[in-house]
């Protein structure tokens, strides 16, 4: 991985407001952690894609070597939207992603989803699959109740700790 690719990756992470990122590719290990990034109370669904060519990205980035300050304007549009979502999600048990991978709502393409909003679930029931390194990991409900919210669209990449489902306990 060359310096240009690392810079493009950092610009992408700043643009998507991702605070921490790790990558291992062969013998190259890269870990990026942005300091001073405020964590929102409620996380809105984010669609993250691997940049093919981020040369057109206008957002400045902080590189670990340079220490140059990053622009925080990318985080400010999401802040007002987080306040209404926090009050609406206050009574929910949130199922978070235990791993980084790709979120799938169904066991296979064309199959019905494991759960939909309004479905009643029991603790331990499979809610979705997260694919990581070609392994399908079943994610189970950590509480019994009704699915009130699905935070992630099907086929989207997810990060560790990212909210997947909101379950209203009964």
Whole-model pTM above 0.75?
no
Q: pLDDT tens digit string along 9-28?
A: 777 777 777 888 788 877 77
Are 127 and 160 found together in one domain? yes
Over the stretch 18-56, which tens digit does the pLDDT of each residue have?
888 788 877 777 777 776 545 444 544 545 455 554 444
Segments forming the whole domain that contains residue 163: 91-169
Q: Which of 31, 53, 80 is the last residue of a domain?
A: 80
Give yes or no: residues 95 and 165 share one domain: yes
Average pLDDT, the chain: 75
Same domain, 57 and 26: yes
Both 59 and 95 in a single domain?
A: no
Q: Is residue 43 part of a domain?
A: yes
Of 53, 80, 107, the position where a domain reaches its end is 80
Whether residue 131 lies inside any domain: the answer is yes
Q: What CATH number is given to the structural domain containing 101?
A: 2.40.50.100
Residues 95 and 74 placed together within one structural domain of the fold = no
Given a cut of 90, whether residue 106 has pLDDT beyond it is: yes
Which of 59, 80, 101 is the last residue in one of the domains? Answer: 80
Per-residue model confidence (pLDDT) at position 144: 93
| Residue 85 located in a structural domain | no
Total domains in the fold of the chain: 2
> 108 and 48, same structural domain?
no
**Pair (68, 104) in one structural domain:** no
Instruction: Report the C-alpha gap between 125 and 109 in whole angstroms.
Output: 20
Domain identity same for 13 and 61? yes
């Amino acid at each position: 991985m060359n310096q240009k690719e690392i810079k493009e990756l950092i610009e992408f992470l700043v643009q998507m407001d991702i605070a921490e990122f790790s990558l291992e590719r062969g013998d190259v290990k890269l870990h990026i952690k942005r300091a001073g990034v405020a964590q929102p109370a409620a996380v809105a669904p984010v669609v993250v894609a691997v940049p093919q060519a981020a040369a057109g990205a206008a957002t400045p980035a902080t590189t670990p070597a340079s220490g140059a300050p990053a622009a925080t304007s990318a985080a400010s549009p999401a802040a007002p939207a987080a306040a209404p979502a926090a009050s609406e999600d206050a009574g929910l048990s949130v199922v978070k992603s235990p791993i980084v991978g790709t979120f799938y709502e169904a066991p296979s393409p064309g199959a019905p989803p494991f759960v939909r909003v309004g479905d009643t679930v029991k603790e331990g029931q499979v809610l979705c699959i997260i694919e990581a390194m070609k392994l399908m990991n079943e994610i189970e409900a950590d509480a019994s109740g009704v699915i009130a919210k699905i935070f992630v669209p099907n086929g989207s990449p997810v990060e560790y700790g990212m909210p997947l489902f909101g379950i209203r306990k009964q």
